[in-house]
């Protein structure tokens, strides 16, 4: 009895599986496999780096490297590195830093993570020629130990450089003053907490003061100068940090690399990528509007638009630059419909170029768009609207060249008398049924005025309304 029930259940399952797989193409299963692969990838990318190194005994120094603008991915990386180093009993975490500045929210998150770190944190500005500017100044002073390599600099922590809105002109003088006051009090609290030079910290914000590593050591902005990482660890050996004595001389250095997804998002998180997303969104959506039914341009444009809007909430986007880009698109489109002899197109090119240059109007060099990107984008956009988009709209305005509508207005010859009830005409090598509101004689040139099924409604051609003779 049980065997029969088992057989019946297996047949039911087999039938259900057949009905599910029947009619589905191989691409369907490939899509499912790719989706499962990507769903499983984040877990592997997160778990693999968190495994202890082979033979690890819980001693050593963790090292991470931060190079470039400070952003959300940087904050995530620092917080993960602190958790990783604490979990595996590292003696300390060293952050090698070289940054021109960054965003205020990400900077605050990193400072809070440094405060809450259960192990000593060391910010080391390196290599020679590196700088801890703007947001980097806040992060360096917030560490338990601040160190710099010879030939490096620190300072210029004015709030414009770490603001979230694209420059001092956007918020006006009131917003500028608020940001300056906040940044001043923020860095003052950091310096006081870490027992560093409070007066210079305030000057770095209010006066954009910047100093070299040697001057920073003299002013007690940092704790030491070290030409190399090993020399830094030797200098820290035996010192007490947060009640813990560091025994760092000769210990093993263990790099904590970025995860694959962190590397990807770090590269994607840039003004250049957002600018390209804006262009894709603009080309895709307008391309779909000019050629309805293409689908792919609309899908690509919509995805790019959503990603660009998300990045606009993070990057310091200037509202004036964005408005100029919108105006440029409007001028390009208007010039196709309005006979201005190219005046609007020239205005659109100027507005597009100016908007591109102002889109990230901030003193931080990491948020500037280069002319090598803006100039080709301006030329391509102008050509897109002048030729491609314009050709699409002009094609929609052309007369119909296929179908029954093409018969309207054509002339033909009656083969039999045409009455309101019946008749025959010869058109394009074929005989057609024809009717007319008034009787028309045989062999008369007529004009087609209406198509109803396979019957043509005709009327005498006024200028050629005479009979033919054979």
Could you state, in order of their start, the residue ranges of all structural domains in the chain? 58-264, 270-397, 404-464
Specify the range with the lowest mean pLDDT, choosing from 114-123, 275-284, 379-388, 408-417.
Answer: 379-388
Helix axis angle, 319-337 to 343-358, nearest 10°: 160
Residue 470 has pLDDT above 50, yes or no: no
Mean pLDDT of 307-322: 78
* pLDDT at residue number 431: 84
Report how far residue 111's alpha carbon sits from residue 358's, in angstroms, rounded to the nearest whole number.
30
113 touches 78 (CB < 8 A): yes
Mean pLDDT of 43-49: 40
* pLDDT at residue number 95: 96
Of 110-119, 324-333, 411-420, 448-457, highest mean pLDDT? 110-119
Specify the range with the lowest mean pLDDT, choosing from 189-198, 224-233, 282-291.
Answer: 282-291
Q: Do domains 58-264 and 404-464 have the same CATH topology?
A: no
Mean pLDDT of 132-157: 93
Of 171-180, 186-195, 317-326, highest mean pLDDT? 186-195
Specify the range with the lowest mean pLDDT, choosing from 56-60, 88-92, 337-341, 376-380.
Answer: 56-60
CATH topology of domain 58-264: 2-enoyl-CoA Hydratase; Chain A, domain 1 (3.90.226)
What is the model's pTM?
0.62
Residue 291 has pLDDT above 90, yes or no: no
Question: How confident is the prediction for the chain on average, in pLDDT?
Answer: 77
* pLDDT at residue number 44: 39
* pLDDT at residue number 411: 83
Residue 25 has pLDDT above 60, yes or no: no
How would residue 261 be classed by pLDDT, with cut points 50, 70 and 90? confident
Two tokens at 53?
A: 């190194």
Mean pLDDT of 414-435: 85
User: What CATH homologous superfamily does 404-464 map to?
Assistant: Nucleic acid-binding proteins (2.40.50.140)
| Polymer length of the chain | 470
Tally of CB atoms within 10 A around 318: 21
**Three-state secondary structure string covering the chain:** CHHHHHHHHHHHHHHHHHHHHCCCCHHHHHHHHHHHHHHHHHHHHHHHHHCCCCCCCCCCEEEEEEECCECHHHHHHHHHHHHHHHHCCCCEEEEEEEECCECHHHHHHHHHHHHHCCCCEEEEECCCCCEEECHHHHHHHHCCEEEECCCCEEECCCHHHHCCCCCHHHHHHHHHHHHHHHHHHHHHHHHHHCCCCHHHHHHHHHCCCEEEHHHHHHCCCCCEECCCHHHHHHHHCCCEECCEECCCCCCCEEECCCCHHHHHHHHHCCHHHHHHHHHHHHHHHHHHHHCCCCCHHHHHHHHHHHHHHHHHCCCCCCHHHHHHHHHHHHHHHHHHHCCCCCHHHHHHHHHHHHHHHHCCCCCCHHHCCCHHHHHHHHHHHHHHHHHHHHHHHHHHHCCCCCCHHHHCCCEEEECCCECCCCCEEEECCEEEEEEECCCECCCEEEEEEEEECCEEEEEECHHHCCECCC
């Amino acid at each position: 009895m049980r065997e029969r029930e088992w057989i019946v259940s297996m047949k039911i399952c087999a039938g259900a599986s057949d009905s599910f797989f029947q009619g589905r193409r191989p691409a369907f299963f490939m899509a499912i496999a790719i989706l499962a692969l990507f769903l499983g990838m984040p877990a592997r990318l997160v778990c693999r780096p968190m495994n202890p190194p082979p033979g690890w005994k819980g001693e050593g120094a963790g090292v991470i490297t931060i190079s470039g603008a400070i952003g959300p991915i940087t904050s995530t990386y620092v917080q993960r590195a602190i958790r990783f180093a604490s979990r595996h009993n590292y003696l300390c975490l060293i952050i090698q830093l070289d940054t021109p500045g960054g965003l205020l929210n990400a900077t605050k998150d990193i400072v809070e993570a440094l405060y809450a770190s259960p192990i000593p944190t060391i910010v080391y500005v390196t290599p020679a020629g590196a700088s801890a500017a703007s947001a980097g100044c806040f992060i360096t002073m917030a560490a338990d130990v601040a160190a710099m390599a010879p030939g490096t600099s620190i300072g210029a922590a004015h709030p414009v450089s770490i603001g979230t809105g694209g420059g001092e002109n956007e918020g006006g003088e009131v917003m500028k003053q608020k940001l300056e006051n906040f940044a001043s009090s923020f860095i003052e609290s950091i310096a006081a907490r870490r027992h560093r030079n409070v007066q210079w910290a305030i000057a770095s914000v209010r006066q954009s003061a910047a100093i070299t590593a040697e001057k920073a050591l003299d002013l007690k902005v940092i704790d030491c100068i070290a030409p190399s990482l090993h020399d830094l660890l030797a200098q820290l050996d035996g010192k007490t940090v947060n009640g813990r004595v560091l025994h760092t001389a000769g210990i093993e250095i263990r790099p904590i690399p970025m995860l694959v997804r962190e590397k990807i998002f770090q590269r994607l998180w840039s003004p250049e990528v957002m600018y390209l997303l804006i262009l894709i969104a603009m080309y895709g959506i307008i391309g779909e509007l000019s050629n309805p039914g293409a689908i792919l341009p609309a899908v690509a444009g919509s995805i790019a638009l959503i990603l660009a809007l998300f990045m606009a909430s993070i990057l310091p986007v200037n509202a004036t630059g964005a408005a100029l880009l919108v105006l440029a698109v409007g001028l390009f489109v208007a010039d196709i419909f309005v006979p201005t002899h190219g005046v609007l197109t020239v205005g659109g090119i100027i507005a597009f170029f100016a908007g591109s240059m102002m889109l990230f109007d901030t003193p931080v060099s990491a948020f500037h768009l280069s002319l090598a990107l803006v100039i080709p984008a301006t030329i391509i956009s102008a050509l897109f609207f002048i030729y491609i988009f314009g050709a699409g709209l002009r094609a929609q305005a052309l007369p119909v060249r296929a179908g029954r509508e093409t018969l309207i207005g054509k002339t033909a010859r009656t083969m039999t008398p045409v009455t309101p009830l019946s008749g025959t005409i010869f058109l394009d090598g074929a005989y057609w049924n024809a009717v007319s509101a008034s009787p028309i004689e045989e062999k008369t040139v007529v004009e087609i005025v209406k198509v109803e099924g396979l019957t043509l409604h005709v009327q005498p051609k006024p200028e050629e309304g005479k009979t033919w003779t054979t």
